[in-house]
Amino acid sequence: MIGLLGASLAVAQDFDFPGTRDGHPDLNGIWQTLSTANWNLEPHAASQGAIETLGTIGAVPPGLGVIVGAASGRDSSSRDSSGREGSTIPYLPAARAQRDQNFASRRTNDPEAKCFLPGVPRATYMPHPLQILQTDDDIMILYEYASAVRTVFMNEEVPAIAESWMGWSNGRWDGDTLVVDVTAQNGQTWLDRAGNYGSATMHVVERYTPLGPNHLQYEATIEDPNVYSRPWTISMPLYRRLEPNVQLLEFKCVEFAEELMYGHLSKGEGQ
């Protein structure tokens, strides 16, 4: 599959990107996005946060959105108020209603609030760095948030053994682009804090393409016939963290969520 940005990226790839012994790009390093995608993948205005007593702390910053279009079958329903195609998620009617319910209950029901693993693609654009460890055999991606981790099997396609929060990843090279096929997610993750979501039948194809020595273009095409009317794609840059002492730090957040998840079980005074 050719990425939506393939033509423009081919022009942009006139640079020296570190390579491995087998001739593929060396993606080793710590990377991070700069976007509002974790707040909402779709274009959105600034708004009050889920907890109004915090004032502007936790307020939603505005964003242009990271959806670059549907993979096929575009129609007028995929246009935003400015007439751009492909800037909103092509939900089936019942699924859009579920998304709206998710948004209304985001304060307590967003899996991020409960420190659950974020799934793919959300793990990529959370406000935490990720680290790619590339070997001669497979690739491992580690995430600062909740110490999430996944293995990308490169030598042969390995079938999924079970559904899980981070799914199952098989990868291959398409020229200089790492293509990762992600299946077997458990359907309990959200795609952002706005309640966008997929089900257990969601299929994600990721593409990591070098843009320069310190930049990757990240693209993910998402399809799920139980939730969306057609496949759709998000795209954003990943930036290499260049601090001399950069490293993934520990963000084990379970203890932060204990009151939210189990506070109702604690006994009040005098009981």
pLDDT surpasses 90 at 246: yes
CA distance 173 to 153: 12
Nearest to 218 by CA among 175, 168, 180, 249: 180
Find the mean pLDDT for residues 208-234: 97
Asked if 133 contacts 149 with a C-beta cutoff of 8 angstroms, the reply is no
| Domain-embedded: residue 269 | no
pLDDT above 70 as % of the chain: 86
Give the model's pLDDT for residue 86: 65
Long-range contacts of 114-117 (CB under 8 A, 24+ apart): 114/257, 114/260, 114/261, 115/146, 115/253, 115/254, 115/256, 115/257, 116/146, 116/165, 116/188, 116/189, 117/146, 117/148, 117/165, 117/166, 117/189
CA distances from 2 to 8, 13, 71, 178 (A): 12, 16, 11, 12
CA distance 264 to 87: 40
User: With bands split at pLDDT 50, 70 and 90, how would you rate the model's confidence at 12?
Assistant: very low
Q: What is the pTM of this model?
A: 0.88
| Domain-embedded: residue 175 | yes
| Domain-embedded: residue 231 | yes
| Domain-embedded: residue 263 | no
pLDDT in tens, 79-138: 444 444 569 999 999 999 999 999 999 999 999 999 999 999 999 999 999 999 999 999
Q: Rounded to 5 degrees, what angle do the CA atoms 68, 241, 45 make?
A: 40
CA distance 226 to 249: 37
pLDDT in tens, 42-77: 999 999 998 888 899 999 999 999 999 765 444 434
Give the model's pLDDT for residue 254: 93
Find the mean pLDDT for residues 199-216: 97
Give the model's pLDDT for residue 32: 98
3-state DSSP call for residue 204?
strand
| Domain-embedded: residue 241 | yes
CA distance 86 to 64: 12
More confident: 221 or 21: 221
Domain that holds residue 201: 19-45+61-249
Give the model's pLDDT for residue 85: 54
3-state DSSP call for residue 183?
strand
Give the model's pLDDT for residue 125: 98
Tell me the sheet residues that pair with 44.
Answer: 63
Handedness of CA 41, 45, 49, 55 (dihedral sign): positive
| Domain-embedded: residue 172 | yes
Give the model's pLDDT for residue 14: 59
pLDDT above 90 as % of the chain: 77
| Domain-embedded: residue 118 | yes
Find the mean pLDDT for residues 186-194: 98
pLDDT surpasses 50 at 216: yes
Find the mean pLDDT for residues 203-210: 98
CA distances from 133 to 130, 149, 270 (A): 10, 11, 53
Give me the number of domains the chain comprises. Answer: 1
Give the model's pLDDT for residue 134: 96
pLDDT surpasses 90 at 203: yes
| Domain-embedded: residue 147 | yes
Find the mean pLDDT for residues 148-171: 96
Give the model's pLDDT for residue 3: 56
